[in-house]
Amino acid sequence: MLNARAVKVINGPELLSKYVGESESNMRKIFAEAVAEQDKLGAESALHVVIFDEMDAICKERGSVSGSAGVMDSLVNQLLTVLDGVHQLNNILIVGMTNRKDLIDPALLRPSRLGVHIEIGLPDEEGRKEIFDIYLKGLRAKSKLSPDVLMGELVAKSENFTGAEIEGVVQSAITQAMSRNVHLTKTDSRAALDQLVVTMDDLRGAFLHLQPAFGSAESLCSRLIQHSIIHWNPQVDEIIKSGVMAASACVAQDTRGYTHWLILAGIPGAGTTALASQIALSAGFKFTRVITSSRMAGNSEGWKCNYINKTFEDARRCALSCIIIDQVESIIEYISNGLRFSNPILQMIMSKATEIPEKVSVVGEL
């Protein structure tokens, strides 16, 4: 389509070598053909397309990696020279792919370098239908797909699924169908394979065994409600109702695009954790995450900040998300004696509170 030379697809980690200078040499070899052609033909040179997969492995922010003898910094510098140096190449198109854009050196992401950023979000209903069609096409062509398969139900069940997870659902369904028809102790396994048919029950069973990365943490929320909610007072119902109404503001037209906060405060053992979990379950969030002090115990401040940041970034990818921050005072390491706390963790939470993501609701519990 671009009338370019053969595309080069580079797996980032494969460039790294244990020998001194070998990693930098591997980077130079990638662009050697483009350099030679530009020197020879100038503006008449053909386009060279280079695709870096897992780009974060070789383009980490300079100064962030210790003990690497400056290899990572050198790789970034070489790439910057190619993109925007004195002798920059004008006959190349570089495409980088990563799941951790935050790890890439900011200098690479500036305009005139890797200036076009395209985020591949979670597929919508139409996208999920097309993905199912792709992975079921082979089964349908070979008459291995049962007529009872309901595409509408598959699309509804796969909300917040990535393309890879949808592929996993189909593969799991095929495995279940094979285990039902193929007996390894018998010699007529080929005949059994010919009779293999993937049914809707196989696909439903596959959903039971696959938890999407961006799915709801219903099991965790259910565990936090250890003995169910006891409606001993009308105020309990009022709190849950108010919480659900506050959470529903995430999808209201006039408040869409803002982070909504709900604070539940009470003495230890009052049940604020259970109430927060009940609100999240009742509101029907498709993506729910719980940040707990026990999950973060024993880790460094930097790890905790990265964990909080990643949780909010994951929530931002989904259409409607809920984050429960359980025992905020423990997470920020607050000590009333002397008013001591972890400022980096507090600043991370506060910065996320002032961001404008897409439809995120946060329940803080004290």
Dihedral sign, CA of 301, 306, 309, 314? negative
Q: Is residue 253 predicted with pLDDT exceeding 60?
A: no
Q: Which range has the worst mean pLDDT, 63-77, 122-136, 261-275?
A: 63-77
Report helix angle 71-84 to 22-30, nearest 10.
Answer: 20
Q: Kindly report the backbone phi and psi dihedral angles of residue 168, in degrees, each rounded to the nearest multiple of 5, phi listed first.
A: -65, -35
Topology of domain 217-365, CATH: Rossmann fold (3.40.50)
Q: Is residue 185 predicted with pLDDT exceeding 70?
A: no
Q: Which residue has the higher pLDDT, 359 or 261?
A: 261
Name the percent of the chain lying above pLDDT 70.
Answer: 87
Topology of domain 8-108, CATH: Rossmann fold (3.40.50)
3-state secondary structure of 193: helix
How far, CA to CA in Å, does 236 sit from each of 240, 271, 275, 363?
A: 6, 10, 9, 16
Q: Which range has the worst mean pLDDT, 44-53, 161-170, 278-287?
A: 278-287
How high is the pLDDT of residue 252?
Answer: 62
Please tell me if the domain spanning 8-108 has the same topology as the one spanning 125-209: no
Can you read off the two tokens belonging to residue 26?
């591997």
Q: Which contiguous run of DSSP H or E holds residue 155? A: helix 151-157
Q: Which residue has the higher pLDDT, 220 or 135?
A: 135
What's the rounded mean pLDDT across residues 187-201? 74
What is the layout of strands, in order, in the sheet containing 360-365? 259-264, 360-365, 321-326, 287-291
Q: Which range has the worst mean pLDDT, 208-212, 346-350, 362-366?
A: 362-366
Give residues with Cβ within 8 angstroms of 281, minimum separation 6. Answer: 218, 221, 222, 225
How high is the pLDDT of residue 323?
Answer: 87
Please state which of the four CATH numbers 2.40.37.10, 1.10.8.60, 1.10.3720.10, 3.40.50.1000 is assigned to the domain occupying 125-209. Answer: 1.10.8.60
Position 51, amino acid:
I
Q: For residue range 7-37, what is the model confidence (pLDDT) as tens digits?
A: 889 898 888 888 878 888 888 888 888 889 8
